């Protein structure tokens, strides 16, 4: 079956979510991935929304983190303070983030582009809860479009910590050992982080993409895993669930990456 880049990215993200684990999500692609995982290989996945919905059984795609569907048949209808407390206590396995820029160590910028903090060329939304989630959840899944402006050697502003400056830097900053970026999922490939250096590297190429194409779309030197694999394509059942159960209104599937 044919599929779009958005559908491939959602399926890649869903595969990372294991049965019985916990994940803090927002709306959009992360929510679609969590819903797909829950309907396929991870029925006991615990989904959390920052507005306070804990372990809902999502009937449809919510339009916001405070949508009434994020509390549908939930275990708890609580508050943002409680959800953030769960993260701080080490109870949340995965979270999803994105940003305007990402550097080789998985640090993210969602504050400004160009100029200075007081006089930026482009003012962005800022952290929201991104810094908290990346600091305290065990594994961060980052989803973003792949181009050289976004994949930058140096951020204009560090909003959200990845591995900071490399091995040991998170721990030196007071963050718990074992936490940090886990995967970066783009419209070209899936990337992970080398254990020894904590630098980003290509883990799998999406069908039809080349390593040269990915390196040309990256603003820093990028290594690759050995062996370098090809991303598994969505199967017919995953696409059916995505299109008919997760997002029949095409709120997410109708978007470009």
- Contact indicator for 180, 129 with CB cutoff of 8 Å: no
Q: Which of 7, 16, 18, 50 is catalytic?
A: 50
| CB within 8 Å of 75: residues ≥ 6 apart | 46, 54, 55
How is 128-155 classified by DSSP, letter by letter? TTHHHHHHHSSEEEEE----TTTB-SS-
Q: Is 50 a catalytic residue?
A: yes
Distance in angstroms (rounded) separating the CA atoms of residues 204 and 162: 21
Nearest one of 199, 256, 207 to 234, comparing CA atoms: 207
Distance in angstroms (rounded) separating the CA atoms of residues 80 and 64: 14
| Residue keyed to tokens 């029925």 | 43
Please give the positions annotated as active site.
Answer: 50
């Amino acid at each position: 079956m044919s599929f779009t880049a958005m559908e491939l990215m959602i399926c890649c993200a869903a595969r990372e979510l294991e049965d019985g684990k916990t994940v803090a999500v927002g709306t959009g692609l992360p929510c679609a991935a969590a819903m797909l995982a829950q309907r396929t290989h991870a029925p006991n996945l615990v989904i959390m929304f920052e507005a306070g919905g804990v372990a809902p059984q999502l009937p449809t795609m919510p339009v916001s983190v405070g949508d009434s569907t994020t509390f549908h048949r939930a275990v708890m209808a609580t508050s943002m303070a409680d959800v953030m407390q769960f993260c701080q206590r080490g109870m949340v396995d995965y979270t999803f983030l994105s940003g305007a820029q990402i550097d080789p160590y998985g640090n993210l910028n969602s504050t400004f582009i160009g100029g200075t903090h007081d006089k930026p060329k482009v003012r962005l939304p800022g952290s929201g809860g991104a810094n908290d989630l990346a600091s305290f959840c065990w594994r961060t899944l980052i989803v973003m479009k792949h181009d050289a402006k976004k994949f930058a050697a140096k951020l204009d502003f560090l909003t959200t910590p990845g591995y900071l400056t490399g091995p040991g830097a998170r721990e030196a900053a007071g963050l718990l050992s074992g936490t940090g970026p886990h995967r970066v999922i783009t419209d070209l490939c899936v990337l992970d982080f080398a254990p020894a250096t904590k630098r980003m590297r290509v883990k799998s190429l999406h069908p039809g993409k080349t390593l040269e194409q990915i390196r040309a779309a990256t603003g820093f030197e990028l290594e690759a895993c050995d062996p370098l694999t090809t991303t598994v394509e969505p199967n017919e059942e995953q696409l059916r669930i995505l299109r008919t159960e997760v997002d029949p209104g095409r709120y997410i599937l109708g978007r470009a990456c």
